[in-house]
Amino acid sequence: MSLFFLALIPANSVFGEILQWSITGDILYFPADNGVDSDPAPILPSLGGVLSLKIVGPLRLELTEDIYFTNYEYNSTLGYPMACNPENRSALVIGFITALQFTLNFSLGDKGAAFRVYAGPAADLRIVALAIGLNHLADFTGDIRTDAQLQTNAIRDYFWSGARWFMPVAGIGMDFPINEKFLLGFDLRAWFPVYKTWTGENFSTIDGWRFGAGIRITGNR
């Protein structure tokens, strides 16, 4: 909704000069190598938006939001939640990846194209809910190995403990003018599981990383 009102700001106003909005669409990749039978690498669509504030020269401060949905189960042997196929699901996770990043924009000639590089703190703020459509006899056994509610609680506790929601982001992008009002952008991003440095988890190096590739449409002011 805030993006809608921002788009109505006249381009020649003070706010129109320093603020920009973008709508984004991405494909997110969550690599995993935990050595067990689960979905090893979920690839998820994501929608989001960006509010960008010009600070000085090519430097901008951007607030970004990306939303995704995926299924999880809990491996009680490893003490670890794993993304999984729908038939093995215990919990539905709705993730709101929120970042506050500094962005440098570099002009590429006189035709309006630009190159971007950015980095900053980010948080994956996850809502963990019991998956929909479970069988109440087969999926609620009182044993965490098979009980969907117990697994959902364990998944929620895991993600919200040890600051596992904190995942700084870095990325690059390019923008090209579509017309006088809009830019078409392409982005590549990575989110870093820095929490592994203090939680002491002994999983594979790739586990916990996030990668994204997508497009953005930006109001050109």
Q: How do residues 166-188 score in pLDDT, each as one tens digit? A: 999 999 999 999 988 899 999 99
Q: What percent of the chain has pLDDT over 70?
A: 87
Residue 123 has pLDDT above 80, yes or no: yes
User: Which DSSP state fits 178?
Assistant: S
| pLDDT for the residue numbered 35 | 63
d(CA 89, CA 134): 9
| pLDDT for the residue numbered 221 | 61
Residue 15 lies in a domain: no
Residue 203 lies in a domain: yes
Q: Decide if 217 contacts 182 (C-beta within 8 A).
A: yes
Residue 36 lies in a domain: yes
d(CA 179, CA 112): 10
Q: Total structural domains in the chain?
A: 1
Residue 19 lies in a domain: no
Residue 11 lies in a domain: no
Residue 14 has pLDDT above 70, yes or no: no
Residue 7 lies in a domain: no
Lowest mean pLDDT among 40-49, 106-115, 133-142, 150-159: 133-142
Reference 189, options 126, 127, 120, 114; nearest CA is: 120
The domain containing residue 135 runs over which residues?
25-102+112-176+185-219
Contacts of 4 (CB under 8 A, 6+ apart): none
Residue 51 lies in a domain: yes
d(CA 210, CA 189): 8
Residue 128 has pLDDT above 80, yes or no: yes
Residue 92 lies in a domain: yes
Instruction: Please give the full DSSP string across 66-133, using - where no structure is assigned.
Output: EEEEEEEEEETTTTEEEE--GGG-SEEEEEEEEEEEEEEEEE-SSSS-EEEEEEE-EEEEEEEEEPTT
| pLDDT for the residue numbered 119 | 98
Residue 4 has pLDDT above 90, yes or no: no
Residue 39 has pLDDT above 80, yes or no: no
State the pTM of this model. 0.87
**Mean pLDDT over each residue of the chain, to the nearest integer:** 87
Q: Element (H or E) spanning 3, and its range?
A: helix 2-7
Reference 158, options 218, 78, 62; nearest CA is: 78
